[in-house]
Copies of this chain bind each other. A is one copy, B any other.
Amino acid sequence: MGSSTGRLFRVTTFGESHGEALGAIVEGCPPGLALDLEALQADLDRRRPGQSKLTTPRKEKDRVRVVSGLFEGATTGTPIGLLFFNEDAYSKSYDNVRDLFRPGHADYTYEARYGRRDHRGGGRASARETAARVAAAGVARQLLAQRHGVEVVGWVERVEDLEATVDPEQVTRAAVEAHPTRCPVPDVAEQMAARIAAVRADGDTVGGVVGAVARGVPAGWGDPVFDKLDGDLAKACLSLPACKGFEIGSGFAGTRMRGSAHNDPFWHDGERVRTRGNRHGGTLGGISSGASVVIRAAFKPVSTIFKPQETVDRDGNPVTFRNKGRHDPCVLPRAVPLVEAALLLTLADHALRAAALGAR
């Protein structure tokens, strides 16, 4: 278990970093959706390493192949098979981690759970798996845009202590893509780039925060009690590699406010009910309110550092481990499409759930 998400818009991923292929199966996508394969590939390219000198120079071509579920350019309602074949995988470079447990990685926990692991490139725990979910999220993005008018945008909000102030109602994908850091505030973006370069030179890594918004979500999405929309979003974010925290709306900061200041008053704009302010972040009681859904996800500093680290091997012997190869010193720019994927997959699922209810 664990390789599937969603109840009605259901995505199953498979594949290891250095196996033959990875992929995602998307079940439940409604029929008749014209799928723009170029846009799908463009979504994927944003996740790929090697987009700029800020990120790892590895080449992953990641050309997605849609092997099922499409007929004459549109979905048929049957499972959409999305495949990537692995190339250029230098598995040998991982021989030194075969028998030891890298700090901060899942080597030890996979062994504890399964008794064995594919150590090459992190195996199933590799961030490469996220290519599959970003591909599936690309389908969700087109579904949400075409059928529901929902738009999702993510951005880098903070790297270490360098923080940008971003207005979720106004930020555009173009502004985010304008800088390789994916921070839409140019001067902060420049500082972040400099910081990342300095950290890389030091063999170290940094973390930060990604923010994201879904605009156009109608009121009424989300199942109360255990499948709240915010609950599913939190799970989708915490299921991303390196994510250690989640907030919606006012989040942790809101806990320092008084109720009289925090409550968002309702008003009516002549067409529909709205709130003044959006401290609630777009959900009340786990159901969307019609306000923008605004979330934030915390990413720890990358575990793959280039300083010597103490650890143990499979037999419990202490060893000093030193990474080889090429890795991001900062995952934040590439985490933007991942947090967007968390939003997209969750919202697509809840869009279908709301339809099942017959409520919308």
Contact = CB atoms under 8 A, between A and B. Distances in A.
A325 interface: no
Contact of A103 (B203, B232, B265, B318): B265
Interface stretch (A17-25, A54-62, A179-187): A17-25
A1 B285 contact: no
Contact of A77 (B13, B302, B359): B359
A255 interface: yes
A283 interface: yes
A129 interface: yes
13 contacts: A4-B4, A4-B27, A11-B226, A13-B225, A20-B66, A76-B114, A108-B266, A109-B283, A207-B262, A226-B239, A234-B238, A234-B246, A235-B238
A159 B1 CA distance: 38
Given A4-B27, A356-B356, A289 B108 contact: yes
Given A248-B244, A312-B268, A235 B231 contact: yes
Max chain B Cβ within 10 angstroms of own Cβ: one of A2, A104, A268: A2
A109 B266 CA distance: 12
A272 to B, nearest CB: 8
Interface in A202-247: 203-209, 218-228, 230-239, 241, 243-247
Contacts of A7: 1, 7
Contacts of A49: none
A81 interface: yes
B1 A257 contact: no
A81 B21 contact: yes
Interface string A93-130: 00000000101111011101111111000011100010
Contacts of A284: 104-106, 108-109
B32 A3 contact: no
A12 B79 contact: yes
Interface string A12-45: 1111100111110101101110000000000000
